[in-house]
A and B are shown apart, each in its own frame.
Chain A
Amino acid sequence: CSRLHTKPSISPTILLSNMYQRPDMITPGVDVNGLPIDPRKIQDHFEEFYEDLFEELSKYGDIESLNVCDNLADHMVGNVYVQFREEEHAANAVRNLTGRFYAGRPIIVDFSPVTDFREATCR
């Protein structure tokens, strides 16, 4: 896959690039200071992130699905895919999230061509 995907001008799905950062993103199971992290803490951290997202995104429309890439490899790391029921809801979310921050980092938001996550793998 060349990873040169076309960005649609409108879609029911939006992509929030690199939005989720695992607490053990540098070394699995270990924090930035080299101290081991309780796996429950990592799970809680993820759930709080998911909750924040769901709460915020619900303001802009009906969410069909919310996918968070919880991976450590650099490809698609922390990408969040949000599929809304209507394209208009997705457009509303893009308008409202552009230029804002999440946890001290800018939110990078765009439309995504993905509409079926089971078929979303590049071959």
Chain B
Amino acid sequence: RSRSKSKRVSGFDLAPPPSAMLAGAAAVTGQISASNPTIPGVL
């Protein structure tokens, strides 16, 4: 078969969609910004 010659992209190393990644990143930055107000008090 010649179908494999036409460059179809393999599903290997296809990471999860960026939307899933962004949701995780937002949760992390949320935690960081929440701790920010305490910093001026400490300093």
Chain A residues within 8 Å of B, Cβ to Cβ: 48-49, 51-52, 55-56, 100-105
A/B interface sample: 10 pairs, CB < 8 A: A52-B10, A52-B11, A100-B12, A101-B12, A101-B13, A101-B16, A102-B13, A103-B14, A104-B16, A104-B17
Main secondary structure of the interface of B (DSSP, over half): loop
Which residue from A48, A102, A105 sits with its C-beta under 8 Å from B8? A48
Chain B residues within 8 Å of A, Cβ to Cβ: 3-4, 8, 10-17
A-B contact count (CB 8 A): 29
Q: How far is the CB of A105 from chain B (nearest CB, A)?
A: 7
Q: Which residue of B lies closest to A49 (CB)?
A: B11
Q: Which residue of A lies closest to B17 (CB)?
A: A104
Which residue from B3, B4, B13, B16 sits with its C-beta under 8 Å from A100? B13
Other A-B pairs beyond A51-B4, A102-B14, 6, CB < 8 Å: A52-B11, A56-B10, A101-B14, A102-B11, A102-B13, A104-B14
